[in-house]
Structure 1
Amino acid sequence: MNTKISFQQTSCAFPVNGATFVAVDRVSLDIADREVVTVVGPSGCGKSTLLNMAAGLVNPTGGDVYVDGTPVREPGPERGVIFQQYALFPWLTVRANVEFGLTLQRGVGRAERRRRAQHFIDLVGLTDFADALPKTLSGGMRQRCAIARAYAVNPSILLMDEPFGALDALTRVQMQDQLLRAWSAEQRTIMFITHDVDEAVYLANRVVVMAARPGRIKEIIPVELPYPRSEAHRLSPEFAKIRNRVWHAVYHQTPEEEPAT
């Protein structure tokens, strides 16, 4: 497959109290077109900074980030970003929230906006709530609306920063299944940040384990489980084996370990 996102010796440092804090240190990683890559690691290891550089929200201080071979310098419509906070417009209905990004695109008429919005509202299972306001929705439903809104503007990449982190355990599992169903239908490239090892394994083609500060790649672990995935996969010996490997890589590391090459 073609490379969709490429980090090439990418670093990012910030000034903190008169010193330099290195959040990401010389990370090299290629993410293929239509691949789902999850990134997991200790708190403060640079996961979100890595995603923000891919989104164009933060500029690297060393190396570079490429999307489709072009250096990332700013946000772009080919990259949809979904954060832990739902960031919906509270005064707009589900349908109007999903349509919002389309109103900013030239050449997309009202009928086409409605058609595309309805497609993604149906895709994430909010058909019966299209005319509801966000305040009437559960947390999981609000996040589904945010995902539908990101999909509607037709990005080839979804960058997701702990989007299910605030949800209860059952809703979180349901959202994981919903995301995989949407991915199976639409086949976007997904970079997904999480603290949850089970979530990282369940969603991914590959799990990228970040090392403790400064943020580096400690290990990249393939997840050779077939799609579509289900509860049976979560309970399988194969899943347990991969989960244990990821868990050990995340929680049994020392600061002096060298980055993966």
Structure 2
Amino acid sequence: MTTRISIRGVARTFPLQGKDFVALGDVSLDVADNEFVTIVGPSGCGKSTLLNIVAGLDHPTGGQALVGGQAVTGPGPDRGVIFQQFALFPWLTVRRNVEFGLRTAGVPRAERRRRAEHFIDLVGLTQFADALPKTLSGGMKQRCAIARAYAVDPSILLMDEPFGALDALTRVRLQEQLLDTWSREKRTVMFVTHDVDEAVFLANRVVVMAANPGRIVEVIDVDLPFPRTEEVRLGPDFSRLRNRVWSAVYHQPAQERKPS
């Protein structure tokens, strides 16, 4: 398999009350092309910091992150980032939100429209293409954000708790929608979450992190079949993997589970 993301000995420290707080300490990880990797761990273990370094929104104080063999020095069009906050332009319709990145990249109008309509349909928002964000539910807003990220054709999607603010039922439905979209429009995905069930349901591999300092303690292969259905979620193999990830996250020493 071709490696799309390489994280090599990445460390990140921040000044805190006159001392250095070690958010990440010597983290290494390879993510393959078109692989879906979830990152789970307690608060303060550096999950979001690691994602931001790969996104080019933050810089390591040691080691380096590479995308496609090239060192990450800042944000780039090869990486789409989706946060928990929907970050839609409230004055633009769904269609124009999805077209926004294409317009700034100089994509011709007809091609912008074609690509936007394709991804709006893919996330099930065709009948809301001319709606403003204020008229949409939280789940629909996040689907719009996902369509916008896909439309600019990044090779990598970096997702930081994108469903964290949603109710449980909407969250489950969007997990299934995301996997359906990923199965048809393959991308390399790094997905940060606090939710163990979500981490297992979505991933090819689950990366478990611990805190103080932030580090990887276990990488768990998820050998569940695709498509991931409710039947898979309720099956014994899912339960086995969930319990294994839960144990890796929550059976860490107490001092490692303290939020920073």
TM-score normalised over the length of structure 1: 0.97
Counterpart secondary structure, 2:63: strand
Aligned-partner residue type, residue 26 of structure 1: D
Shift of the alpha carbon at 1:189?
0.3
Shift of the alpha carbon at 1:114?
0.3
Per the alignment, residue 90 of structure 1 pairs with: 90
Per the alignment, residue 101 of structure 2 pairs with: 101
C-alpha distance in 2 between matches for 1:150 and 1:235:
31
Q: Which runs of 4+ in 1 moved over 3 A?
A: none
Per the alignment, residue 174 of structure 2 pairs with: 175
C-alpha distance in 2 between matches for 1:119 and 1:17:
50
Shift of the alpha carbon at 1:121?
0.2
Which segments of 5 or more consecutive residues in structure 1 lack a partner in the other structure? Answer: none
Shift of the alpha carbon at 1:255?
6.8
C-alpha distance in 2 between matches for 1:17 and 1:149:
40
Per the alignment, residue 77 of structure 1 pairs with: 77
C-alpha distance in 2 between matches for 1:167 and 1:13:
31
C-alpha distance in 1 between matches for 2:217 and 2:159:
21
Report if the CA contact (8 A) 1:156-1:189 is conserved: yes
Report if the CA contact (8 A) 1:213-1:255 is conserved: no
Report if the CA contact (8 A) 1:32-1:189 is conserved: yes
Aligned-partner residue type, residue 225 of structure 1: L
C-alpha distance in 2 between matches for 1:74 and 1:183:
25
TM-score normalised over the length of structure 2: 0.97
Q: Does 1:12 align with 2:12?
A: yes
C-alpha distance in 2 between matches for 1:56 and 1:17:
26
Shift of the alpha carbon at 1:256?
8.1
Q: Does 1:190 align with 2:189?
A: yes
Root-mean-square deviation (Å)? 1.0
Per the alignment, residue 131 of structure 2 pairs with: 132
Report if the CA contact (8 A) 1:44-1:212 is conserved: yes
Aligned-partner residue type, residue 238 of structure 1: D
C-alpha distance in 1 between matches for 2:147 and 2:166:
18
Counterpart secondary structure, 2:219: strand
Report if the CA contact (8 A) 1:212-1:255 is conserved: no
Which segments of 5 or more consecutive residues in structure 2 lack a partner in the other structure? Answer: none
C-alpha distance in 1 between matches for 2:194 and 2:117:
32
Per the alignment, residue 234 of structure 1 pairs with: 233
